[in-house]
């Protein structure tokens, strides 16, 4: 069974409210475009809505019961009137859409309704897009389409104009932490992951990434040595940082983690401990927060953001990091 209506409503309240109203008022559109970044619940909500359309025992008139034959078959991926299309290799081919059309020209097997869900709709070939357009222009009664995409700008404007567009918002850090906790992730790690990405899928991948676990340790160590002799920080850069953070994307991740430490110190000073990311280091961070001024923290965060800009502008990462460390040490007023 997928997530419940209440769980998904926490992730995407606006989308769920619109869908609830369309079911209750019997105004379900014949085509929906679900657009938003990866991990925001598009797949789960398209299946939830599909179950609501077929469910034999809706709760309060719009929530699928999850236990009737139709709900169970949709959850198991074997309902005869629900068809899913995914890219075949790198794209969705014209033949796949034509097969779908042929299927839909037949009478619905068990009801008057048919639903099709196209995952990664932006990956339709030109032929597939044109075939789908004809399909959307002459919808069969009782047919509902869900097109899912992370890149709506890649979809034909003529297709977009025939769909009701549902925009999926990035998850808030609080919703993200709850989702991660539900997936069995420790609170201390969930708080860091929620700050690193808005995508649940990406956060779950990072959680089991050995590289990312080691990255956190190196960043904390670099922060620790910043307030010691300038040479010690350079030794840590050479001996650990440059060996671990190799490409541009990895260096950017490292800078994001470093920025989180400074943000945490600021949150502690502002008495907002509940917002800190490095929860596992909270006692140590509380001590460090006493040793630095808010003004200094603000300058140091600006220096890290400037380093991120230089990195994106293709400055040499090694030179950029050396300059950043010197700047962070200059600005320090550690005792």
Number of domains forming the structure of the chain: 2
Interhelix angle for 126-137 vs 94-105, to 10°?
20
Look at residues 136, 167, 198 and tell me which one is the last residue of a structural domain.
Answer: 167
Residue 110 has pLDDT above 80, yes or no: no
Instruction: Report residue 66's pLDDT band, with 50, 70 and 90 as the boundaries.
Output: very high
Q: What is the pLDDT of residues 279-331, one digit of tens each?
A: 999 999 999 899 889 899 999 999 999 999 999 999 999 999 999 999 998 76
- pLDDT (tens digit, 9 = 90+) per residue, 188-203? 999 999 999 877 888 9
Is 201 within the bounds of a domain? no
SS3 98: helix
pLDDT tens figures, 213-224: 999 999 999 999
Pairwise CA distance, residues 308 & 303, whole Å: 9
Q: Which of the residue ranges 2-11, 207-216, 255-264 would you say has the lowest mean pLDDT?
A: 2-11
- 249 and 128 together in one domain: no
Give the pLDDT of residue 335. Answer: 34
Residues 83 and 29 in one domain: yes
Residues of the domain holding 287: 209-330
Considering the domain architecture, whether residues 99 and 9 belong to the same structural domain is answered as yes
The two tokens of residue 174 are 């609080």
Within this chain, do residues 152 and 281 fall inside the same structural domain, yes or no?
Answer: no
Nearest alpha carbon to residue 148 among 98, 86, 75: 86
**Is 12 in the same domain as 153?**
yes
CATH code at position 151: 3.40.50.300
Residue 191 lies in a domain: no
Q: What is the CA radius of gyration of the chain?
A: 25
Q: Which CATH number characterizes residue 287's domain? A: 1.20.272.10
Burial (0-12, 13-18, 19+ Cβ within 10 Å), 153: exposed
pLDDT digits (tens, 9 = 90+) for 157-172: 999 999 999 999 888 8
Q: Is residue 183 part of a domain?
A: no
- pLDDT attached to residue 46: 97
The lowest-confidence range among 21-30, 105-114, 127-136, 277-286 is 105-114
Q: What does the alpha-carbon distance between residue 203 and residue 190 come to, in Å, rounded to a whole number? A: 8
Flag whether 180 is in a domain. no
| Same structural domain, 141 and 9 | yes
Per-residue pLDDT, 3: 75
Task: List, for residues 259-290, the tens digit of each pLDDT value.
Answer: 999 999 999 999 998 889 999 999 999 998 99
Judge whether 271 lies within some domain: yes
257, containing H or E segment? helix 248-269
Residue with tokens 């619940």: 41
With respect to residue 202, please indicate whether it lies within any of the assigned structural domains: no
Instruction: Give the C-alpha separation, 109 to 130, whole Å.
Output: 27
Per-residue pLDDT at 332 exceeds 70: no
Contact between 192 and 220 (Cβ < 8 Å): no
Q: Which of 97, 148, 161 is nearest to 125 (CA)?
A: 97
Single residue among 167, 191, 226 that ends a domain in this structure: 167
Q: Are residues 160 and 20 part of one domain? A: yes
Based on the domain organization, do 214 and 141 belong to the same domain?
A: no
Domain shared by 133 and 69, yes or no = yes
Give burial (CB, 10 Å; 0-12/13-18/19+) of 40: buried
> For residue 207, which of 217, 219, 192, 220 has the smallest C-alpha distance?
192
Minimum mean pLDDT among 71-80, 95-104, 259-268, 317-326: which range? 95-104
240 lies in a domain? yes
Same domain assignment for residues 31 and 89: yes
Task: Give every CB contact of residue 163 below 8 A, 6+ residues apart in sequence.
Answer: 29, 31, 32, 33, 136, 145, 147
Tell whether 193 is covered by a domain: no
Provide the mean pLDDT of the chain: 91
pTM (two decimals)? 0.68
Residues 146, 31 within the same domain: yes
- If asked whether residues 231 and 147 sit together in one domain, one would say no
Question: 333: pLDDT confidence band, cut at 50, 70 and 90?
Answer: very low
CA distance 126 to 201: 29
Separation CA 22–CA 166 (nearest Å): 12
Helix (H) or strand (E) holding 279: none
CB 251 within 8 A of CB 311: yes
Distance of alpha carbon 166 from the chain centroid: 16
């Amino acid at each position: 069974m997928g997530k419940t209506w209440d769980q998904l409503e926490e992730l995407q309240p606006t989308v769920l409210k619109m869908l609830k109203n369309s079911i209750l008022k019997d105004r379900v559109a014949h085509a929906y475009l679900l657009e938003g970044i990866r991990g925001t619940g598009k797949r789960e909500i398209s299946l939830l809505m599909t179950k609501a359309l077929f469910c034999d025992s809706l709760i309060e008139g719009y929530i699928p019961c999850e236990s009737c034959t139709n709900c169970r078959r949709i959850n198991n991926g074997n309902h005869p009137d629900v068809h899913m299309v995914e890219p075949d290799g790198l794209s969705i081919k014209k033949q796949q859409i034509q097969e779908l059309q042929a299927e839909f020209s037949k009478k619905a097997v068990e009801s008057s309704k048919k639903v099709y869900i196209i995952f990664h709709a932006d990956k339709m070939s030109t032929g597939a897009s044109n075939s789908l357009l004809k399909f959307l222009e002459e919808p069969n009664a009782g047919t509902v389409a869900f097109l899912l995409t992370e890149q709506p700008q890649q979809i034909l404007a003529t297709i977009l104009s025939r769909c009701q567009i549902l925009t999926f918002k990035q998850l808030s850090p609080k919703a993200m932490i709850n989702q991660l906790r539900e997936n069995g992730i420790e609170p201390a790690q969930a708080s860091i992951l929620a700050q690193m990405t808005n995508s649940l899928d990406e956060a779950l991948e990072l959680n089991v990434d050995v590289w990312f676990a080691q990255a956190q340790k190196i960043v904390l160590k670099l922060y620790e040595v910043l307030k010691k002799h300038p040479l010690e920080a350079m030794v840590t850069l050479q001996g650990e940082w440059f060996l671990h953070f190799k490409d541009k994307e990895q260096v950017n991740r490292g800078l994001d983690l470093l920025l989180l430490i400074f943000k945490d110190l600021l949150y502690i000073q502002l008495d907002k401990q509940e917002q800190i990311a490095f929860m596992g280091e909270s006692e140590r961070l509380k001590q460090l927060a006493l040793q630095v001024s808010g003004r200094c923290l603000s300058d140091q965060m600006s220096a890290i953001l400037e380093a991120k800009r230089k990195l994106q502008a293709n400055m040499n990462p090694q030179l950029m990091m050396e300059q950043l460390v010197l700047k962070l040490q200059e600005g320090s007023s550690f005792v």
